[in-house]
Each structure stands twice: as structure tokens, then as C-alpha cells.
Structure 1
Amino acid sequence: MSISDYNEEEIEEMSAIELAHILLEEENQPYEYGSLMNRIAKLKGMAVEETKNRQTKLFTSMNLDGRFVHLGENHWGLRGWYPLDQSDEDLSTTVKSEDTKKNQDASDEFEEDFDDDFEDIEDELDELSQEENAEDEEKTKPLDGFDSEDVEETEDDDSY
């Protein structure tokens, strides 16, 4: 059923989630969330303040409602449009803009640099640990001219 088949009173009584479903079904293509919310607000005659207050509720409802699927880049579609075996992760890459691809390339470069920096830090920590172990061994070596047994006897002997 199309949105034009409903009168103003029916639209006013309808929930935003039902309107979202009807609009997506009618358009048969993904909607950017802001555009979808604006279209619903216009249909229901909501004031700007009321629209802002209801945005989060609709977003949460769409996340919880099994009929909707988030496609990435803040675009939403209907679950029925996609095969059942396609995961949400696969679907989230359905909508990608050129800016996102550029950002992803930059992100990949950052991750490579981060991994290199992390390996350098690990190497430095290993070196410091080895140096500390060598210093600890040096401290626990018996002094020249003293046996470790002599040191223990002296400690046990209370006569001065």
C-alpha cells in the first residue's frame, strides 16, 4: 500500500516506525536516515523540536525491528530486500561513498603506522627488561673473596 492511499488522520495516528516501513517499501531503495526522518516529520506535521525529540526513538526502534537493516553510511533498507544468509556486516558495506573509501585508505595507512610503532615499543620494552635482568643478576652475585655460605654465617652470628 502506498503512502498516498492513507488520509491525514490515518497518517497522524500511525507510528513513525510504520511510516518508515511504508516509505521504504514504496521507494524500494535505501533511505538516508535524516531524509527518512524529515519525510516522516513532514507527513505527520511535526514541529522542528518534536522532530529532534523523536529522532533517537525512531533510530532505536529501527535497530530493534527485524524488518529494517542498517546499510552503513547512515542508510537504512528493508531486511526483505536482501538474502537471509547475508550478514549485517556484509550489508553495512552496501552503501559506500567515495569519501568513505578515501577515509578507509587513510585509516589503513594509520593502522600500518600504528602497528609499526607498537612493534618498536615492544622491542624497546624487551631491551629494557633484558637490561634490568642483567642488573639484577649483577646485584645477586657474591662479592669477590666471600662465599655465599660465609655471608649467611655472618648474618646468623649475633656476636659483635
Structure 2
Amino acid sequence: MSISDYNEEEVEEMSAIELAHILLEDEKKPYEYGSLMNRIAELKDLSSEETKNRQTKLFTSMNLDGRFVHLGENHWGLRGWYPLDQSDEDLSTTVKMEDTKKNQEPADEFEEDFDDNFEDIEDELDELSQEENAEDEEKTKPLDGFEREEPEEPEDDDSY
């Protein structure tokens, strides 16, 4: 059923979680959490104070309810839209990938930035490794005036 199939009294009696489910089913696409909460507040005619008080409860309810899935970037969808074997981590990239497709740089520039960043990290790791090696050498270096003495070998003693 669509949200338009319900009268004001029915909507008023519905829980926010049920309204969220109906709205997502109607839209058939992910909702940004703030927009979803604002739409629910509008439907239930909530004051800004009431809306603020219910935000955390709805968020927690959506996290616990198996029908909803967090898609990252504060977007929510319905679990039924995605294959069961797709993990939440995989789903969280769904919204990010859509955003990056809109603002995507040409591939060459991206690859150059990636290579530059990778080289910078390699250089930093090399420097750290050299510093650690120098510290290790310093620790094993004998102190002035205190040369290391080789341990004396025991003399052969034929007596028993």
C-alpha cells in the first residue's frame, strides 16, 4: 500500500518505523535519513521538538529492524532490494559509488594521484625503516671505553 492510501488518522496512529518502511517502498530508492525523518514529521504533524526527540529512536529502530539496511553516507534502503549474500560493507559502497560517478575525474588524473600518493607512502616507510635501523645500530654499539670482551673459553682440565 502507498502512503496516499491511508487517511490522516491512520497515519497518526502508525509508528515512525512503519511510516519509514512505507515511504521507502513508495520511493523504491534509498532515502537520506534527515529527509526521511522530515517527511515522517510532516506526515505525523510533529513539532520540531518532537521530531528531534524521535530521531534517535527511529534510527535505532531502523538499525535493529531487519527490513532496513544502512547504505552509508546516511542513506537507508530496504533489505529486500539487495541480494541476501551482499554484506553491509558492500552495500555501504552503493551510495558512495553513485556519488563518485556524478563527480568522477578522468581516469588518468585519478591514477596519477593514486600513484603519487602511493610513492609518498613508500618514501615515508623507507625513511622510517632507515631511522629504525640507525636506532638499532646505536643500541648495539659498545660504549666508549667499554669494549666488548669475548668470553674466555674454558681450559681443558683432564682431572676428574
TM-score range, shorter chain: 0.7 to 0.9
Give the TM-score of the pair, scaled to structure 1. 0.74
Percent identical residues: 65
Pairwise CA distance, 1:136: 5.4
Q: Cα distance 1:19–1:134, how it changes in 2: closer, same or farther (>3 A)? A: same
Match of 1:128?
135
Rounded to whole Å, the distance in 2 between the matches of 1:148 and 1:22 is 83
Q: Cα distance 1:131–1:53, how it changes in 2: closer, same or farther (>3 A)? A: same
Pairwise CA distance, 1:116: 4.0
Match of 1:154?
none
Q: Cα distance 1:110–1:69, how it changes in 2: closer, same or farther (>3 A)? A: farther
Aligned AA for 2:9?
E
Q: Is this contact kept in 1: 2:142–2:148, CA < 8 A?
A: no
Unaligned runs of 5+ in 2: 153-160
Pairwise CA distance, 1:26: 1.2
3-state DSSP class of the match of 1:9?
helix
Asked if 1:5 is matched to 2:5, the reply is yes
Match of 1:117?
124
Match of 2:67?
67
Unaligned runs of 5+ in 1: 150-160
Match of 2:80?
80
Q: Is this contact kept in 1: 2:24–2:30, CA < 8 A?
A: yes
Aligned AA for 2:74?
N
Q: Cα distance 1:41–1:117, how it changes in 2: closer, same or farther (>3 A)? A: same
Asked if 1:27 is matched to 2:27, the reply is yes
Q: Cα distance 1:131–1:45, how it changes in 2: closer, same or farther (>3 A)? A: same
Pairwise CA distance, 1:117: 2.4
The alignment covers a number of residue pairs equal to 142
Give the TM-score of the pair, scaled to structure 2. 0.74
Rounded to whole Å, the distance in 2 between the matches of 1:78 and 1:134 is 65
Q: CA offsets per residue over residues 43-87 of structure 1, 9 Å max, x none?
A: 011111221222122112111111011112211110001111111
Greater helix proportion? 1
- Tell me how large the CA RMSD over aligned residues is: 3.0
Match of 1:40?
40
